[in-house]
Amino acid sequence: MSKLGYDDTPLLPGEQWQVHDFRRPQPRVVAPGKECCQPPADAVILFDGSNLSGWTGRDGDAAWKVENGYMEVVPRTGNISTRERFGDCQLHLEFACPTEIKGESQGRGNSGVFMMGLYEIQVLDGYDNPTYADGITASVYGEYPPLVNSCRPPGEWQTYEIIWTAPRFSGVDLVSPAYLTLLHNGVLVHNHVELMGPTGHRNVYPYQAHAPTGPLMLQDHGDLVRFRNIWYRPIGTYDQE
Ligand code: MG
């Protein structure tokens, strides 16, 4: 591993880059504006800041801390997932990385937003913190860097607006892949990108047939990352054969 990434990982399909390629260009920095985003009338609230009753953890109930209207990772208690399962959606959430800067690259303010429990949109303190491009904040981990780096400084609340199209399967066969559009702090960072498959470290995984709905999962990567104001709106129906 070089300081910022790897040169011994698989080539990404259809790309000139390897997974976590240290040579892949860094996204340009764009400073975001100030404000966003209360839930609209038809939103399904996944976390309103009061409790984690809608979430499960490794040993049953979610063991993360809730205080002052946010949840915070309790390291080594594991990832947490919504009881709610959903497919195509518009999803909003807010996160904040620790004010106190600890670590560098992937070791600073790392968490993750896993759509359907499988497809990670990276959460990281990517403010003045170089790392491999496909692992910076708002990357589709190991697949796509964001179009730009629109991070706020550590400690400040940041937003993701996710437009998600779930993959479709017929039996064990992939009919259509997952698609993602993402705004980070109101700035477009992915425009209907086609996911190559479930995300992972140092690898790209092939699609494997799964249910048309799944949970939202948040990652315990050992850092004290906070989340608040999490809601989604379903798009269309999830009926499929
Ligand atoms: Mg992560």
Cα of 34 to ligand 1 centre, how many Å? 25
- The answer to whether the beta carbons of residues 31 and 185 sit under 8 Å apart is no
Q: Compute the distance between CA of residue 26 and CA of residue 146 in angstroms, rounded to an integer.
A: 9
Indicate the pLDDT class of residue 67, thresholds 50, 70 and 90: very high
Q: What is the mean pLDDT of residues 16-42?
A: 89
pTM of the model: 0.92
Interatomic CA distance for residues 200 and 184, integer angstroms: 21
Give domain limits for the chain. 28-234
**CA–centroid distance, residue 201 to ligand 1 (Å):** 9
When pLDDT is cut at 50, 70 and 90, the band that residue 34 belongs to is confident
The full 3-state SS of 49-117, as one line of letters, equals CCCCCCEEECCEECCCEEECCEEECCCCCCCEEECCCECCEEEEEEEECCCCCCCCHHHCCCEEEEECC
pLDDT digits (tens, 9 = 90+) for 131-190: 999 999 999 999 999 999 999 999 999 999 999 999 999 999 999 999 999 999 999 999
Q: Are strands 148-149 and 28-29 parallel, antiparallel or unpaired?
A: parallel
Distance (angstroms) between ligand 1 centre and the Cα of 238 equals 27
Alpha carbon of 146 to ligand 1 centroid (Å): 14
Instruction: For residue range 118-134, list pLDDT tens digits in order.
Output: 999 999 999 999 999 99
* Domain covering 28-234 in this structure, CATH number: 2.60.120.560
41 CA to centre of ligand 1 in angstroms: 31
Q: Is pLDDT larger for residue 32 or for residue 144?
A: 144
CA atoms of 54 and 126, how far apart (whole Å): 29
- Say how many Å lie between the CA of residue 174 and the centre of ligand 1: 26
